[in-house]
């Protein structure tokens, strides 16, 4: 197996772990954690494709990943703020209880 | 001292002012109103006498005073006053007779609640008549003519709470107005043709030679223009003077108080028609020189006059109401006047008009005196025996009757009637009118004998007649004065000294002719009068009626004729069946046209509009709106169904996401495999 | 400095007054509002008198002219002016409106709203009489319908709704054709100004611009304008809206409708149709003469059949206005053959407008008094013997009746005589037939008088109350004017004589 393939398998595993966490857990914070894991799996793919791609010299992949991490951080902050606000109102962080946005 | 023509307007103005006083006076101002009316009338009489003096100074002259009334496009509409012997004599007569009637009314109307109003209307009536007489413009004459109609309307309907009086007033107004429309058309024609309606205007008036010459050309129908205009004007005279066929209003006008009847029948209203024709006589005779015309205006006048004279006398024979007998005698006498005008002797007509005014006023006031004394009993069958109870009334009434009948020599009516018969006898066109007039003389003598015998002789035939007493001096004094005039007036126009005729014709010299000229005719008429009186006396005087229910001796002999005459020969019924029906049919036609044809067309258009609206609305609602509604309903349903998927459960979304991802992956993998 | 805009003041004072009255309706007591309304309405008379003082009858053109650009893209101008005809009608409005308001304001619901609507109506009518550009003229013409509609519908009798709709829709229907006609004129001539259009018509270039003489288009334009005016006057047989409208309207509105608004149509004939379409009018005049004759005769005969007094008086209005049209069409048909008769007919028309306004308004008011005393009954058979109980009322009503049937000495005679004088000179057969109308008028008016006032007291005539002071004051000016104008018509004839002489002299 080449290093690239190894990296891809790792990121797939990481993604699956994140997905399972996001789907299985009912605590919103843990769901957010799962989502972060999935994001980081994607980031790992970026890095891998960059490092083993045709132009490893240009810093393109790192910039992508840094952007994604910054955006994810902002997202996490917003998500956590939302969770806190919901908790303040509803006294719960169970994701199943927050269904007000249904059609 | 004379009255200048510039001040002639004062004569009608005085009674007009009295009418205004009467109208504005409070309801309690009875004496004020009556005093004003009588005072004004006396003033008018004095002024009229002064005017007469002025006119007689130069009888041939037509003194005029013309003035502009208002602008009529190019030029102004001019009116004016005229003073000549005709005007002056008429003024004196109207003022004098009216004055006596006014005085009589103070007694006759004493108990009436609307006393004040009565004098107001009387003054208006006299003012209008005097205005008519002094007018020097056919338009001013027409204006006063209509005012005479108004005043007569108000007075005939004076006891307006009686439906019959109200109906009679309306009938009088409408009937005379029918004639007036002809008059109006004649007047318009003249104005259009001549550009003036002044009688005399220093050579430019339409009665003067220059203007009359313009009127001699022929119309397409063969008549001369002057004939047509003359006949149209004569229509007005037919209406006002109660000539056949518009005589029907005159007997009904008896519904008014008796002084009103006296005024209408003697001095005012009916005299107006005769006066009008006499006034426009130059116009009426303008066509005499033309030989090739089918008819002359005066020929029509003569025949209508003669027929009316006979008709009135005939109907009078079968009437029982004292006022109605007198009314039909007026119709008949007016016929004589028209006859005189028609046969060319307008002077005789005016002479008869003047004498008739006095003795007819006398007769009506006498009848009023009888009616007032007999508690408003007017049926001669229920009167009787009044000669002993009412000496003054009886004697004066007898004098009046004799004047009307034409008892020879002493009475004015004899001379004036004689003049008419003489003129009719000498008429070259036809002798028929003369024979009608002769027959009328017999009938007149006959019905007047009956009237006298039934009213005054024998014994009273009712309670009312039995309790009759002579009236006070306010009523008897005018009777005496009028009776004196009825006798003495013959002196102004005796054949041997025809002063009146000379003055009217504008001659300074009075040239009489010997009394025996025409004595044969005079003898004939004496015989006729004797015959009539004798017949009447034989039927009614010798064996007096026993009671009010006894049969009329004439009705026993010829019941059908008398019944027809008593019914006034059915003219009222005839008119009701023809003119009245036509009128009603036209009214119905106009109404039906309006309601159903024009109104129907409008309704149809409206209905069409509404129908179109309905159709477009239905199209909109069903087709267009329906389509849009269904589409949007479906869209909404789709949206709703779609939104069911959105549960709000984040896990559900994630699961779907994951599923989608897996499917995508599978597709990629499988696609990649291919 | 430009002179004070007298005509604008004349037209807009009632409108501003209407606003004022409407605003004050809750804030001031009713009596103040009523007095104010009448005062504002009287302003027209005062300003009309001012106009009279500045007016020179010898000048036949427009006087006191105000002219400003308004919508320059369409060449629309705000153009007001006055000649003898307008002045006579302005004065008539100035007399009828305050009298009608004074006479009826006491008895109506919501006097302030009523008064405000009435003042609006008055202003619109005045605008019609002085506007010289089609655009403002048409605005006034149509605006007059709005207050009339509401007055009729809100204060009218039981059938008022239908009558008001019919009145407004019928009139607007006619006006629509007129508007189309003027649109065509504008396209051809590029102006809406009456004076300019008349000048174009005189030198013949208008017909040429519209497509030449004998072409279809000028005829169609003429017919459109004719239709609009014919409905308004109304010309027989477009008159069927009138009897129900006049009968169902409240008395004050009936007075104004017959006294002033019915004159707007005849005014339109004289101001628009006559000068702008001389040739088509002359061509169509003989059939139109027949129609006018139909109005004269059948209007009068139809009146005879009416049991409702208001409808009867309404039909008499049809009859009287048809005399005006009769004269107009006779003159148009005859052309220059008999200028003296034409001048007489035209002055008769204008005098008749004024005189009919007076007598018809007085008659409607008298019927209103009858109606008010008898709980709204106004049938011919509902009364009897009123004269015994109410001699003053009987006298005044009788004067109005006799004025209406043309008794000499009262105003009605003068106009009718002049019309007959003129028509006889131009179309003798028409004058002869029209005398039937005179006769029928006498019959139905005397029937009215006889049935209501004569005979024994019956129906609502029992214990009839005589006129009170207010009613007396209402009728008195009208009655006095009837006498004054009947005896001295020069007052009016002097204002219009040079004008009609000029018209008669410039006939085609």
Mean pLDDT of B312-340: 87
Question: Which residue segment(s) compose the domain that A72 sits in?
Answer: 3-101
More confident residue, B457 or C346: C346
**Mean pLDDT rounded to a whole number for chain B:** 83
User: Is the CB of C205 inside 8 Å of chain B's CB atoms?
Assistant: no
Nearest-CA residue of chain C relative to B583?
A: C301
Indicate the DSSP class of residue B266. Answer: I
* HEC letters along B531-546: HHHHHHHHHHHCCCCC
Instruction: Spell A71-96 as b/e; 16+ CB within 10 A means b.
Output: ebeeebeebeeebeebeeeeeebebe
More confident residue, B508 or B524: B524
C501, HSE (Cβ side, Cα atoms, 13 Å):
16
* A58 has a pLDDT exceeding 70: yes
User: Is the CB of A57 inside 8 Å of chain B's CB atoms?
Assistant: no
Chain C 344-363, CB below 8 Å of chain B: which residues? 344, 346-347
N-terminal to C-terminal alpha carbon distance within chain B: 150
Indicate the DSSP class of residue C69. Answer: E
Q: Touch between chain B and chain A (3+ CB pairs, < 8 Å)? A: yes
Strand partners, C71: C76
> Which residues of B fall within a CB distance of 8 Å from A22?
654
> Which residues of C fall within a CB distance of 8 Å from B590?
297-302, 304-305
Number of domains in chain A: 1
**pLDDT tens track for B327-357:** 888 888 888 888 888 888 888 888 888 888 8
* B415 has a pLDDT exceeding 50: yes
**Mean pLDDT rounded to a whole number for chain A:** 87
Tokens of B69: 């009334």
* Beta carbons within 8 Å of B105's beta carbon, 6+ residues apart: B34, B118, B119, B122, B257, B259
What is the torsional sign of CA B476, B479, B481, B483? negative
Whole-number pLDDT of residue B513: 66
CA distance B38 to B17: 12
pLDDT class for A93, splitting at 50, 70, 90?
confident
CA distance B45 to B38: 10
User: Best mutation site among B649, B652, B665, B668 for testing chain A: the one with the most A CBs within 10 Å?
Assistant: B649
Dihedrals φ, ψ of B77, to 5°? Answer: -85, 120
**pLDDT tens track for B60-85:** 888 888 888 887 777 788 888 888 88
Percent of chain C at pLDDT exceeding 70: 99
User: Is the CB of C170 inside 8 Å of chain B's CB atoms?
Assistant: yes
Distance of CA C444 to the CA centre of its chain: 22
pLDDT class for B614, splitting at 50, 70, 90?
very high
User: Is the CB of B651 inside 8 Å of chain A's CB atoms?
Assistant: yes
Distance from the A14 Cα atom to the nearest Cα atom in chain B, whole angstroms: 15
* B290 has a pLDDT exceeding 60: yes
* Contact state of A98 with B658 under an 8 Å Cβ cutoff: no
Map tokens 């149709």 to a residue. Answer: C273
State chain A's maximal CA–CA distance in angstroms. 52
- Residue C206 burial by Cβ neighbours in a 10 Å radius (0-12, 13-18, 19+): buried
What is the torsional sign of CA B336, B237, B412, B342? negative
Distance of CA B444 to the CA centre of its chain: 25
CB pairs under 8 A between A and B: 35
Q: Which of C240, C420, C489 sits opposite B598 (nearest CB)?
A: C240
Whole-number pLDDT of residue C1: 39
CA distance B255 to B242: 16
**pLDDT tens track for B103-138:** 888 877 877 778 888 888 889 988 998 999 888 888
Tokens of B271: 């005299």
* B467 has a pLDDT exceeding 80: no
Whole-number pLDDT of residue C233: 84
CB atoms within 10 A of CB C66: 18
> Which residues of B fall within a CB distance of 8 Å from C504?
73-74
Map tokens 């036809």 to a residue. Answer: B430
Quick one: angle between helices C309-334 and C339-373, nearest 10? 170
* Contact state of B647 with A102 under an 8 Å Cβ cutoff: yes
CB atoms within 10 A of CB C58: 8
Element (H, E) at B639: helix B626-643
Domains of chain C, by residue range, sit at 284-508
**C429-436: long-range pairs with CB below 8 Å, 24+:** C430/C289, C430/C293, C430/C326, C430/C330, C431/B185, C431/B188, C432/B185, C433/C293, C433/C296, C433/C297, C434/C293, C434/C296, C434/C297, C434/C323, C434/C326, C435/B181, C435/B184, C435/B185, C436/C296, C436/C297, C436/C300
| Nearest to B104, CA basis, from B252, B327, B263 | B263
Distance from the B604 Cα atom to the nearest Cα atom in chain A, whole angstroms: 57
CA distance C34 to C105: 7
Q: DSSP for B121-166, please give it.
A: HHHHHHHHHHHHHHBSBHHHHHHHHHHHHHHHHHHHTSSTTSHHHH
* Beta carbons within 8 Å of C435's beta carbon, 6+ residues apart: B181, B184, B185, C420
User: Is the CB of C428 inside 8 Å of chain B's CB atoms?
Assistant: yes
- Residue B56 burial by Cβ neighbours in a 10 Å radius (0-12, 13-18, 19+): middle
Nearest-CA residue of chain B relative to C494?
A: B71
* A81 has a pLDDT exceeding 90: yes
User: Is the CB of C298 inside 8 Å of chain B's CB atoms?
Assistant: yes
Q: Touch between chain A and chain C (3+ CB pairs, < 8 Å)? A: no
Q: What CATH number does the domain containing A92 carry?
A: 1.10.287.3510
CA distance B157 to B164: 9
User: Is the CB of A19 inside 8 Å of chain B's CB atoms?
Assistant: yes
CA distance C428 to B462: 59
* B601 has a pLDDT exceeding 90: no
List of chains touching A (3+ CB pairs within 8 A):
B
Strand, helix or coil at C407? coil
pLDDT class for B663, splitting at 50, 70, 90?
very high
Map tokens 């004159």 to a residue. Answer: C263
Indicate the DSSP class of residue B82. Answer: E
* B546 has a pLDDT exceeding 80: no
Instruction: Spell out the per-residue pLDDT of chain C, length 508, in tens.
Output: 357 888 888 888 899 998 988 888 888 888 888 888 889 988 989 988 988 888 888 888 888 888 888 888 888 888 888 888 899 999 999 999 999 988 888 878 888 888 899 899 999 999 999 998 888 899 999 999 999 999 888 888 888 888 888 888 888 888 999 898 888 888 888 888 888 888 888 887 777 777 755 667 778 888 888 988 888 888 888 888 888 888 888 888 889 988 898 899 899 988 888 888 888 888 888 889 999 998 898 888 888 888 888 888 899 998 999 999 999 999 888 888 888 888 888 888 999 999 999 999 999 998 888 888 888 788 888 888 888 888 888 888 889 999 988 888 888 888 898 899 889 888 888 888 888 888 888 888 888 888 888 888 777 777 778 888 888 888 889 999 998 988 888 888 888 888 888 888 777 6
pLDDT class for B473, splitting at 50, 70, 90?
confident
Instruction: Spell C470-479 as b/e; 16+ CB within 10 A means b.
Output: ebeebbebbb
* Contact state of C344 with B73 under an 8 Å Cβ cutoff: yes
Instruction: Spell C291-330 as b/e; 16+ CB within 10 A means b.
Output: bbbbbbbbbbbbbbbbebbbbbbbbbbbbbbbbbbbbbbb
Element (H, E) at B592: helix B581-592
pLDDT class for B591, splitting at 50, 70, 90?
confident
| Nearest to C81, CA basis, from C130, C48, C127, C34 | C130
Element (H, E) at B36: helix B30-57
CA distances from residue B528 to B270, B420, B447, B610, B655 in whole angstroms, order as listed: 27, 15, 13, 82, 144
Mean pLDDT of A99-103: 73
Residues B276 and B235: beta-carbon distance below 8 Å:
no
* A7 has a pLDDT exceeding 50: yes
> Which residues of A fall within a CB distance of 8 Å from B654?
19, 22-23, 31
User: Is the CB of B641 inside 8 Å of chain A's CB atoms?
Assistant: no
CA distance C331 to A103: 82
User: Is the CB of B655 inside 8 Å of chain A's CB atoms?
Assistant: yes
Whole-number pLDDT of residue B282: 85
* Contact state of A101 with B644 under an 8 Å Cβ cutoff: no
């Amino acid at each position: 197996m080449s290093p690239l393939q190894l990296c891809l398998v790792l990121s797939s595993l990481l993604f699956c772990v994140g997905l399972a966490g996001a789907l299985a857990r009912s605590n919103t914070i843990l769901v957010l954690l799962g989502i972060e894991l999935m994001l980081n799996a994607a980031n790992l793919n970026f890095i891998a494709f960059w490092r083993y791609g045709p132009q490893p010299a240009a810093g393109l992949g790192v910039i992508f990943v840094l952007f994604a991490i910054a955006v994810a951080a902002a997202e996490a902050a917003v998500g956590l703020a939302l969770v806190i606000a919901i908790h303040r109102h509803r006294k719960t962080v169970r994701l199943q209880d927050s269904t007000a946005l249904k059609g | 001292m004379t009255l200048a023509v510039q001040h002639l307007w004062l004569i009608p103005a005085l009674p007009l002012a009295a009418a205004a006083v009467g109208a504005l006076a409070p309801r309690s101002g009875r004496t004020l109103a009556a005093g004003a009316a009588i005072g004004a009338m006396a003033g008018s009489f004095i002024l009229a006498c002064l005017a007469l003096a002025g006119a007689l100074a130069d009888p041939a002259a037509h003194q005029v005073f013309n003035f502009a009334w208002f602008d009529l496009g190019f030029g102004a509409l001019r009116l004016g006053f005229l003073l000549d012997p005709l005007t002056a004599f008429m003024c004196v007569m109207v003022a004098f007779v009216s004055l006596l009637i006014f005085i009589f009314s103070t007694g006759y109307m004493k108990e009436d609640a609307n006393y004040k109003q009565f004098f107001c209307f009387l003054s208006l009536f006299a003012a209008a008549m005097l205005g008519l007489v002094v007018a020097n413009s056919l338009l001013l004459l027409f204006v006063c003519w209509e005012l005479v109609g108004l005043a007569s309307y108000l007075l005939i309907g004076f006891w307006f709470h009686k439906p019959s009086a109200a109906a009679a007033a309306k009938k009088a107004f409408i009937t005379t107005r029918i004639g007036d429309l002809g008059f109006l058309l004649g007047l318009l024609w003249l104005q259009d043709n001549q550009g003036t309606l002044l009688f005399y205007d220093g050579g430019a008036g339409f009665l003067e030679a220059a203007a009359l010459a313009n009127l001699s050309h022929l119309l397409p129908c063969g008549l001369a223009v002057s004939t047509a205009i003359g006949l149209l004007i004569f229509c007005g005279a037919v209406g006002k003077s109660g000539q056949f066929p518009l005589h029907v209003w005159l007997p009904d006008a008896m519904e008014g108080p008796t002084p009103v009847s006296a005024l209408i029948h003697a001095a005012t209203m009916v005299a107006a028609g005769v006066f009008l024709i006499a006034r426009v006589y130059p116009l009426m005779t303008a066509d005499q020189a033309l030989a090739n015309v089918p008819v002359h205006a005066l020929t029509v006048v003569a025949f209508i006059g003669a027929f009316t004279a006979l008709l009135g006398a005939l109907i009078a024979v079968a009437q029982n109401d004292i006022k109605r007998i007198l009314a039909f005698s007026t119709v008949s006498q007016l016929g004589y006047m028209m006859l005189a005008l028609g046969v060319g002797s307008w002077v005789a007509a005016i002479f008869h008009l003047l004498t008739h005014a006095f003795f007819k006023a006398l007769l009506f006031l006498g009848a009023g005196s009888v009616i007032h004394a007999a508690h408003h009993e007017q049926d001669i069958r229920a009167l009787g025996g009044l000669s002993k109870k009412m000496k003054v009334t009886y004697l004066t009434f007898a004098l009046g009757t004799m004047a009307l009948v034409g008892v020879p020599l002493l009475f004015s009516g004899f001379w004036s009637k004689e003049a008419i018969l003489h003129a009719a006898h000498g008429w070259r066109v036809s002798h028929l009118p003369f024979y009608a007039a002769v027959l009328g003389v017999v009938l007149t003598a006959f019905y007047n004998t009956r009237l006298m015998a039934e009213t005054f002789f024998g014994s009273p035939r009712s309670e009312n007649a039995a309790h009759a007493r002579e009236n006070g001096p306010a009523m008897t004094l005018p009777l005496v004065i009028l009776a004196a005039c009825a006798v003495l007036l013959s002196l102004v126009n005796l054949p041997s000294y025809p002063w009146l005729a000379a003055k009217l014709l504008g001659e300074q010299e009075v040239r009489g002719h010997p009394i025996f000229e025409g004595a044969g005719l005079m003898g004939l008429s004496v015989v006729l009068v004797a015959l009539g009186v004798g017949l009447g006396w034989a039927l009614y005087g010798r064996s007096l009626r026993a009671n009010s229910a006894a049969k009329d001796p004439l009705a026993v002999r010829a019941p059908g004729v008398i019944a027809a005459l008593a019914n006034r020969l059915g003219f009222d019924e005839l008119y009701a069946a023809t003119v009245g029906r036509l009128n009603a049919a036209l009214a119905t036609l106009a109404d039906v046209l309006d309601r159903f044809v024009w109104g129907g067309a409008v309704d149809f258009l409206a209905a069409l509009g509404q129908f179109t609206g309905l159709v477009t609305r239905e199209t909109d609602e069903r087709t267009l709106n329906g389509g849009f509604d269904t589409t949007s309903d479906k869209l909404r349903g789709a949206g709703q169904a779609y939104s069911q998927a959105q549960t709000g459960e984040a896990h559900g979304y994630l699961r779907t996401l994951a599923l989608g991802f897996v499917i995508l992956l599978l597709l990629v993998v499988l696609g990649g495999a291919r | 400095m430009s002179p004070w805009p007298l005509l604008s003041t004349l037209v807009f004072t009632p409108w501003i007054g209407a606003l004022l009255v409407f605003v004050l309706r809750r804030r001031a007591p009713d009596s103040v509002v009523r007095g104010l309304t009448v005062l504002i309405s009287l302003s027209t008379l005062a300003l009309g008198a001012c106009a009279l003082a500045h007016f020179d009858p010898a000048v036949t053109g427009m006087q006191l002219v105000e002219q400003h650009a308004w919508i320059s893209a369409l060449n629309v101008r705000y153009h007001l002016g006055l000649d003898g005809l307008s002045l006579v009608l302005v004065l008539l409005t100035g007399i009828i409106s305050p009298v009608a308001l004074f006479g009826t304001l006491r008895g109506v619901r919501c006097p302030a709203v009523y008064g405000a609507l009435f003042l609006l109506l008055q202003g619109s009518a005045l605008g019609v009489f002085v506007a010289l550009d089609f655009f403002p003229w048409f605005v006034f013409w149509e605006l007059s319908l709005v207050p009339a509609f509401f007055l009729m519908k809100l204060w009218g009798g039981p059938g008022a709704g239908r009558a008001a709709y019919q009145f407004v829709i019928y009139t607007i229907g006619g006006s629509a054709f007129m508007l189309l006609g003027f649109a065509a004129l504008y396209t051809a001539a590029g102006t809406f100004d009456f004076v300019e259009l008349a000048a174009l018509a005189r030198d013949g270039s208008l017909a040429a611009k519209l497509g030449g003489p004998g072409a279809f288009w000028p005829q169609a334009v003429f017919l459109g304008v004719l239709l609009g005016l014919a409905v308004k006057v109304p010309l027989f047989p477009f008159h069927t809206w009138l009897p129900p409208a006049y009968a169902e309207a409240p008395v004050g509105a009936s007075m104004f409708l017959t006294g002033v608004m019915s004159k707007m149509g005849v005014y339109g004939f004289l101001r628009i149709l006559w000068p702008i379409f001389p040739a088509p009018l002359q061509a169509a005049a003989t059939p139109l003469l027949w129609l006018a004759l139909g109005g004269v005769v059948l209007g009068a005969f139809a009146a005879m059949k009416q049991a409702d007094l208001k409808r009867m008086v309404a039909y008499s209005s049809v009859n009287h206005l048809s005399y005006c049209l009769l004269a107009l069409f006779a003159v148009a048909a005859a052309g220059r053959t008999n200028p003296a008769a034409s001048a007489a007919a035209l002055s008769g028309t204008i005098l008749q407008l004024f005189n009919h306004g007076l007598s018809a308004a007085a008659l409607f008011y008298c019927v209103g008094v009858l109606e008010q005393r008898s709980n709204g009954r106004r049938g011919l058979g509902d009364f009897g013997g009123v004269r015994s109980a109410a001699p003053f009322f009987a006298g005044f009503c009788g004067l109005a009746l006799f004025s209406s049937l043309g008794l000499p000495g009262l105003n009605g005679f003068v106009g009718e005589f002049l019309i007959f004088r003129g028509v006889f000179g131009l179309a003798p057969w028409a004058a002869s037939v029209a005398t039937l109308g005179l006769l029928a008028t006498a019959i139905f008016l005397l029937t009215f008088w006889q049935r209501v006032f004569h005979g024994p007291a019956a129906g609502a005539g029992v214990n009839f109350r005589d006129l009170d002071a207010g009613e007396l004051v209402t009728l008195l000016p009208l009655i006095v004017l009837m006498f004054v104008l009947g005896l001295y018509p020069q007052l009016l004839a002097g204002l219009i004589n040079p004008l009609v002489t000029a018209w008669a002299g410039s006939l085609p």
